[in-house]
Each structure stands twice: as structure tokens, then as C-alpha cells.
Structure 1
Amino acid sequence: MKKKGIGYASTFYGTGYGNGFPDESRATAKIENNGTINIYVEVSDVGSGGKSVMWQIATKTLNIDEKLVNVINTNTNSMKDSGTAAASRQTYNTGNAVLNACAKLRDNINNVINKTEKLSSSDKIKKIFQHMKKNNISTCEDGYFKANTSKIHEKDGQGNPYWPYTFGAQRATVIVDTETGKIDILEIVSVNDAGKIINPTLAEGQVEGGCLMGVGYALMEEVNLNKGKIKNTNFSNYIIPTSMDMPNIKSYFVEENESTGPFGAKGLGEPVMLPTAPAILNAIYDAIGIRFYELPVTCERVLAALKRK
């Protein structure tokens, strides 16, 4: 018999390293003599679209034609430390550093042209560059940002361990086959408050990838040990979800502006995967009335639990 269940879960997630650990990002915006502006920033793009986000922040802040901006992020000899691609921190932390560098450079440019004028051609930038050099106005500015967190006070538990927080909720709809123990996920609805979404397409991709990782955590991925040695050391026997396991995912964003973020943005990467497994477990309970406290919920574990029930 196939039984349908619906489950919900919610999360909040503090972005950045947190708890007073130094969490700093740096960037440099420089006008080149060929009529372009280079952004030197050590943003590690591990599939999250960080480079594209930095490019968008830069073009908006500089008020410049998008084709005239280059983001250079692969040569650590050319840039300062921006921290790791971890803790869902790059958009907020490093984005603020890029914004800071570009805002200072635009202020310098405003000494030469009207502050509302768009930088629309390389020829115009070349002329601006020459004028700035002639008048001893800096054509290169560094940007810096440090997250505002503090350690928790041991006596009273007070403090500011993380900032900002990303919020989310998910609904999972599943079908449980009580004869085979197989669990099929029909749909996941994901709603997230990550501040202003700078790139909606990339954000939607983050949600889809995070939800699928949550599916693997809930139903498939398991490390098997034999006397402390991992038995399933490759993807032929360590099972992860593929495109064939992708359920229908609907993503929605509540764009509450974060006043301290670049154009109101916060982090999104890791928070989207956190509610998925709990929502699936709640949906399984709704379908067959059994709580599972061990992951993954495999067919064998479902059948064993049904037998005990």
C-alpha cells in the first residue's frame, strides 16, 4: 500500500564564522589604462555563483556598463585575503568589501564627472583615468569589511555570536510504499529569507542543489565502517542522489532587506539544505505514523520499523 504524507520544518542560520572569530574580507577596485575597471577579489566560486554576484555588486555601485568590469579572482598574487567560501559568508562579507572598494573609487571618479553619470564606454573611462592621474586623484581603492560578532559570555550566555541570520521553511510531500519500504519524494516547497536576492537565477539553483543534498542526507547517504575503516569509499557503493532523484522543487524568497548587507543581501548557501531532511522525516511520520531517529531512512529500515509496529 502506498501512503502519502506531508511534513514541515523550519530553520535559522547565522552566516559567517561567528562567535567573535576574525571574519574579514578585502577587495580592490582599479581603473586600468585600457578603459576598463578590474575588481581584484579572492572570492572562491565553488558553484555558488560568487564571482557573478561580486560583478553585479561592482557594476551597480560604480554605475558602469557591465561589459567594462572584470572580476579577477584566481590569482592570489594579485589580491588580498577575502576568507573562505564557507559559512555562507561570501555574498554578505566579501560583497560588502567589493561594495566598499567600488563606492570609494566612484567617489574619486565623481571629482571628474557628474555623480549620476553612467560610465558607458571605454573611451570615457580612458579620459577619466587621464584626468584623475593629472590631478593626483587615486585610480585604485581598497575595500574592507569585518563581520560584527562577539563571543558568548560564559556567565550569562549573552553576546552576538552571529550576524546576520538567514531564515527558511520547507514542506515535503512523500509517498511511502509499505510493501517495499521505498520512499518517493513528490515535491519540496522551499521559502527563504536571505535578504535582497542579488541574482534570482543563482539563488534558485542554490535552493535546488541544497534540497537535493538534503534528500541524500535523509534517504541515501551512509558511511559504513568496519573496524574504523570506511567500507563504501566510492560512488558505486556510497549512494548520492542524481538528477533522477530530483523531486519537483518550488522556491520562494521573502526579500526582507538586511540593512548591513550589500544592497540588502544575506547568505543563502547552507541554510537551504538544513530543513529538508527534517521535513522529509515529518512527512514519513505523517504517512505511516513512525518516527525515525537514524539516517538515512532506507527501505530496509522502513520495513523493519513497520514490522515492529
Structure 2
Amino acid sequence: MKRMMRGRGMAASWYGIARTATIDRAGAWAELDDGGTAKVVTGVTEIGEGILTLLSQVAAEELGIKPEQVTIGDNDTARSPEAAHAGATRQTYMIGNSVALACRDAKARLFEQIAELWEVPIENLRSFDGVLWAEHTNKRISMEEAVALCKARGVVPVGSGSFTAHGTGLDPVDGSGSPWQAYVFGTQVAEVEVDTLTGEVQVLGIWAAHDVGRAINPRGVEGQIEGGVVQGLGQALMEDYQTHEGHPVTHGFAKYILPTSLDVPQINCSIVEDPDPLSPLGAKGIGEPALVPTAPAVMNAIYDAIGIRITSLPATPEKILAALADRRAAQEGEPAPA
């Protein structure tokens, strides 16, 4: 056998987003404020996934202003509508849609007043980049002026929105049911090189294609996919969390190996946009789903390289060498080394 063996593997995945087997819900408030700016209040928590940037984009697009003109209020749940937890890949799907609906409600209040003042059909009004106008006319004003006119007529352009994702429990006998309203799908391909002398596995590249519904922030989506892949590489090859009778026996991070920048291969992302028909934004999400197919793809690539199936994670050099030794012993008719 050659010392360096290369292989490729593929794995596909699906992932249900939002809370499982129950109703998930979230709410938000939005207001067009003096100066043509906007503020949005929701109980969302930013944990590094970029949700505040995304919500600013959503609000700006729905209201017709610039993202930098949007202020996201604090997430104190004593002062904001319910948003629930940051998990289950639900932030874009639940909070994003709630903010979109709240902004549409606020904009409708503004448009009603401007349409009445200008004596034009409300469906002819448009707003974009801080400007409001009526199609087929020469009527055109800034959003700042529009808000001032609206408030002068005694109306504050404020709105609220609530989005619900419906799920059902699972039948205890046959498992039937509808635990999620929306699903995301993905496929990843891994190319690896296995050193049969040391047992080391080097991942040479990952190709990841994921359906995210509508990609509101494509760069953010790519970042989420890349982060999930890196986490998956750690799960596949390095991170060995050991327990004994329910108690952790891994001594610490000195022995719990994590991937570093030197371990990350080229990650090639392909974003598939299949809008969700039940989402006002058409968006789904891509948090946890990006992690799911990585380890299986790497395991399949190892099998393609050396012809041995590693059935437990992580695929450490010790496991690779032990598997190769077992195969040699079986081929030679000798007992495997202890």
C-alpha cells in the first residue's frame, strides 16, 4: 500500500428549523421615526451569528430606507416582545419574519396618510433608499418629510408583527407527525489524504451546497457554512469528549484537541435559494445545518482512501493505524496486535 492515500466522500442532510414538535412564535415592534430613520424592538439575542445585521437589512428593505438608518433596540425581554431563544436555526426564520411583518405594518400606516394627502391609490406608493414616491406622478419626497407629514396628521407610523411556525407532536407508536414547518437541505463533499504510516488524516477541501431559502445576507450565509464545516472537522477528526458513567473524564483542553486555522482547508460554498412558501421573507436559515453532513462526508472520504470504515468519532490517527493493523492481520491470517 502506498503511504499517502487520497479519497473523496459525500454526505447529504436535512434539518428542521424552529422549535421541534410544537408551535414556535416570535414578535417585534417597528417605528418610522423623525429624520426618516427607524427603530425595531425585539427580544432577539446576538450570539455571533450576525442576526442584528440581518434584521437591519430586513427592516431597511421593508421600509425603503438604508440599513444604517435602522436602530435595533436592546433585547431586554421585560421591555420587548417575545422572541424566544437563540437556537434551532430559528433566528432568521422567526425573528426576521416578525420584523418584516412589523415593518410592513408601520409602512402601511405611513402610506395610508401619504396616499390620502396626495390623493393617489396607496398601491402606487413606493419607497427605497430613503425616498418615497407615487408611480405615474411627479410626487416625490424624502422619508424624513413623509414621516413629518404623517405625524402632522396625528398618526405615528408604528407597527407590530408576529410570526408563527406550526409543528405537531409525534405519534408515540409510529412516529408520524409534522415536527417542523420548514426544512433546509445540504450536501457536502470532502477530499482527504490519509498517511498510512502515521494514521494522520488531512482534509484537502470541502465543497458545501446548502438550501437556505432566500439568502438575505449571502456573505453571512457563507460565514455560517464555513463555521459549521470547521466545527464538523473538529467533530470528525479531533474532538474526543470522553465520559465514564455519565461523568466527563476528558482532563481539559490540553487533551481536547480543537481545529486551528492551520487545519482548515479550502471551503467552497454554493448557496441554493429555494424560497420557503410559508415565510414572508422566503428565508429559512443556515446555522446548525451546515455542521450536519461534514463528519459523514469526511468518514466516507477516509473509506474511499483506505477501504476501511471508521465507525466512531473522532477518526484519530490511533484508530486509523489500529484499523489498518487489523486488516493486515486478517489478510495474513494472524491475530491482530493487542
Contact 1:168 1:190 in 2 (8 A): yes
- The 3-state SS of whatever aligns with 1:113 is helix
Cα 1:117/1:228, change in 2 over 3 Å:
closer
CA distance in 1, matches of 2:91, 2:245: 39
Name which of 190, 198, 207 aligns with 2:208: 190
User: Residue type matched to 1:31 in 2?
Assistant: L
Matched, 1:59 2:60: yes
| Letter paired with 2:187 | A
Comparing 244-253 and 22-31, the one that deviates more: 22-31
Q: Secondary structure at the match of 2:60?
A: helix
In structure 1, the residue matched to 2:263 is: 245
Aligned match of 2:310: 292
Moved more, 198-207 or 41-50: 41-50
**1:156 Cα deviation after fit:** 5.4
Asked if the contact 2:4–2:196 (Cα under 8 Å) also holds between the matched residues in 1, the reply is yes
Equivalent position SS for 1:110: helix
Q: Aligned-pair RMSD on alpha carbons?
A: 2.1
Which structure has the bigger radius of gyration?
A: 2
For residues 73 and 272 of structure 1, the distance between their equivalents in structure 2, rounded to whole angstroms, comes to 28
Question: Would you say how many aligned residue pairs link Structure 1 and Structure 2?
Answer: 308
SS at match of 1:9: strand
Aligned-partner Cα distance in 2 for 1:228–1:12: 29
Q: CA deviation at 1:255?
A: 0.9
CA contact (8 A) 1:95 1:262 kept: no
User: Taking structure 2 as the reference length, what is the TM-score of the superposition?
Assistant: 0.85
If the length of structure 1 is used for normalisation, what is the TM-score?
Answer: 0.93
Residue 227 to residue 186, structure 1, CA distance change in 2 (3 Å): same
User: Are residues 157 and 76 of structure 1, via their aligned partners in 2, closer, same or farther at CA, if it must alter by over 3 Å?
Assistant: closer
Q: Contact 2:184–2:289 at 8 Å: present in 1 too?
A: yes
Residue of structure 1 equivalent to 2:189: 171
Q: Secondary structure at the match of 1:111?
A: helix
**1:135-161 CA-partner distances (Å, limit 9, x unpaired):** 343432111111021122345543221
% same residue: 36
Question: For 1:222, which of 234, 240, 244 is the aligned residue?
Answer: 240
| 1:88 and 1:268 in contact (8 A); partners too | yes
Change (3 A) 1:216 1:129: same
Partner of 1:303: 321
SS in 1 for 2:234: helix
Determine helix, strand or coil for the equivalent of 1:116: strand
Q: Quick one: distance in 2 between partners of 1:187 and 1:256?
A: 26
List runs of 5+ in structure 1 lacking aligned partners.
none
